[in-house]
Copies of this chain bind each other. A is one copy, B any other.
Amino acid sequence: MDIAILFYDDMAALDAIGPWEVLQHLPGVTMHSVGVTPGPKSSEPAGLELVAAESIDDVPSPDVLVVPGGSGESALRRDPNVLEWLRGVDATSQWTTSVCTGSLLLGAAGLLAGKRATSHWLAHDALASFGAQPTLERVVIDGKVITAAGVSSGIDMALTLAARLQGDEIAQTIQLGIEYDPQPPFDAGSPTKAPQFAVDFLRADSRFEVEGV
């Protein structure tokens, strides 16, 4: 089984690494870090580089696709080769998935029309502009498409996916292996729970502006 995760400049590192960390432990999988071109991709905002080992052309038909988010997704949405690759992968994939604003890339490729989907909480309007039905759940499954909410939700998505791929026992074993027993010091992780100042601050921060179609 081949699992491909798309890497690009100005991605959010945790969007990709959460699923990578989980899925790499599935027995029998081959992980592929792919980019439009191979090489280091700079994550945002602090510039940590993650290396795409292969080009998207090298991996045309993975069984599972994971598209992470980050502000760099808007540039990729304007690259017809990327959109064509996404459509080609989805044509034969077992699962097509995204984390955070990675769902906007799936949307731009036409893969979310009429589907229930999610994204970062600040990107739901943009998500709707691609014909998706924005859904306020952390992990949304519609057919073979799984979309996850912002950044850290990729871990929950990947464990859900791991269970679908190989069963609950293997997913639980991976969860224990990465000791995923989350205990955040605050209960501020969603706009329905966070203090209003945090919601207002992020809504006003231009770095988080997300454009639709």
Q: What residues make up the interface of A, taking CB atoms closer than 8 Å to B?
A: 12-14, 17-18, 20-21, 24-25, 31, 33, 40, 45-51, 53, 100, 120-121, 138-139, 149-153, 155-156, 159-160, 163, 168-169, 171-173, 175-186, 188-191, 193-195, 197-199, 201-202, 208
Output the nearest chain B residue to A199 by Cβ-Cβ distance: B176
Chain B residues with Cβ below 8 Å from A188 are 171-173, 175-176
Q: Please give the distance in Å from A182's CB to the nearest CB on chain B.
A: 4
Q: Is the CB of B179 within 8 A of A182?
A: no
CB contact between A50 and one of B48, B152, B181 (< 8 Å): that residue: B48
Output the nearest chain B residue to A191 by Cβ-Cβ distance: B176
Q: Is the CB of B179 within 8 A of A150?
A: yes
Q: Is the CB of B185 within 8 A of A173?
A: no
CB contact between A49 and one of B14, B53, B139 (< 8 Å): that residue: B53
Output the nearest chain B residue to A18 by Cβ-Cβ distance: B14
Of residues A120, A155, A188, which shows the largest number of chain B Cβ atoms within 10 Å of its Cβ? A188
Q: Is the CB of B152 within 8 A of A178?
A: yes
Q: Is the CB of B185 within 8 A of A190?
A: no
Given known A156-B182, A169-B195, A186-B175, contact A31–B48 (CB-CB < 8 A) = yes
Q: Is the CB of B202 within 8 A of A180?
A: no
Q: Is the CB of A202 within 8 A of B179?
A: no
Output the nearest chain B residue to A197 by Cβ-Cβ distance: B169
A31 to B44, CA, bound (A): 12
